[in-house]
Amino acid sequence: MTKKYFGTDGIRGKVGEYPITADFFLKLGWATGRVFANEGHGFVLIGKDTRISGYMFESALEAGLTAAGVDTRLLGPMPTPGVAYLTRTLRAQAGIVISASHNPYYDNGIKFFSVAGTKLPDDLEHKIEHYLDSPMTTVDSANLGKAKRISDAAGRYIEFCKGSIPTQLDFQGLRLVVDCANGATYHIAPHVFSEIGAEVIKIGTEPNGLNINDACGATSPGKLVAAVVENRADFGIALDGDGDRLIMVDHKGEVVDGDELLYIIAKSRYDSGKLIGPVVGTLMTNLGMEHGLKRLGIDLVRAKVGDRYVMEMLTKHNGVLGGEGSGHIICLDRTTTGDGIIAALQIMAEIKLTGKSLHELKSGMQKYPQVLLNVKTSKKINPDTNETLQNAVQAVEQALGNTGRVLLRASGTEPLIRVMVEGQQEDQVNKYAQQLVDVVKKAMGA
């Protein structure tokens, strides 16, 4: 069954535009409450990031859940992976995150976690949608839900993060810069890294409701690069607004993306004999990472773009490590979902254990030049079935051989055809990418 409201990662959009409205979130809280009231007695956690609309949606969800007779526990600002962890350890019936992740402040959205700390199964999302299209009712006053705040939520999550690496590791002498994107990790990440002994210089830790992800964090690491160089730090850590993405910067001021970070963690697990299953990337994962893993004897399996699909592939292949170039890294041997702080700690542990710098650790894989161009489409065109496009792709693939890769795919959210070419020589990659763009335009009659 096709879902009416839920996408691949919850519901997201511009605040004030349906369905990201107060009345919809009230009804969503009630619908969620009805489903979980039928599942048994318990409570639902609500966490949020720092965008200004979070107050409005938190209140609306709380009211809806209360009307359905379900108790609520409010966490306040809490990273998405923190909500997943607390949902699991507090034995909540479900966890709700109010966040639009790396989007600007004027967007917001919602994600759900099951009692196991994983995304809600489809059958529960379908049940919630059923109630969303039903008239809203209120239980008898004696059965209304109650709401409480959990005051020690941040401390619980900080201890969990610290416990993801060996306690005997001492990080004294390490100087690092942490950019929290003025988001949900602002009061958590600096404590995690300083409490394990590192000297922490923090930026992006003054949220005002409007500055989340604004020219900072994992999607815009320019300020972090400048701060690492200026402070002569060993490395920098950039998280996004809800804390599930990680991008790092080495001591030379070079950005280290999700593919390179995933490679470092995979090699670390492999060297210690603790890597289970293949590493899971996506269709966009750099070919240099695939070749780097292959040299170690590690298989890479590619999923569709999106952390939901990475998780599905990990489950299918019994793997523990997966991620995307954007910095969404999943370490299932440490937690149940993508977690920027947990991933950063795994990198830090490897720096300490090997005595190598981040710059040295990333040198094990050589990123290939990758060009991604978008072609606006005026009519629906499927690159997978269009014979002209497939012939053009095959011709470029033949020319690149095993030193390059081509991907043509239709965007799932915009009227675009995405053209991606990667290979060892940048000028060659640019030439072939433009060549394919011209073929796509011609196929559309442009």
Q: What is the pLDDT of residues 390-406, one digit of tens each?
A: 999 999 999 999 889 99
Over its C-alpha atoms, the chain yields an Rg (Å, rounded) of 23
pLDDT at 245 over 70: yes
Report whether pLDDT(446) > 70. Answer: no
Distance (Å, whole) CA 151 – CA 355: 39
Determine if the pTM surpasses 0.85.
Answer: yes
Tell me what pLDDT residue 413 has. Answer: 62
Give the number of other CB atoms < 10 A from CB of residue 206.
11
Confidence tier at 38 by pLDDT (50, 70, 90): confident
Closest alpha carbon to 160 in 79, 57, 267: 79
Instruction: Scan for tokens 């499927």, then name that residue.
Output: 382
Higher-scoring residue by pLDDT: 110, 381? 110
Of all residues in the chain, what percent carry a pLDDT higher than 90? 88
In the chain, the domains with their CATH numbers are 11-151 (3.40.120.10), 170-254 (3.40.120.10), 257-367 (3.40.120.10), 370-443 (3.30.310.50)
Q: Is residue 40 predicted with pLDDT exceeding 80?
A: no
Q: In this predicted structure, what is the pLDDT of residue 1? A: 66
Assigned token pair, 385: 């079935």
User: What span, in angstroms and rounded, lies between the C-alpha atoms of 300 and 64?
Assistant: 44
- Give the residue numbers marked as catalytic: 101
pLDDT band for position 412 (50/70/90)? low
Evaluate whether 78 touches 48 at the Cβ level (below 8 Å): yes
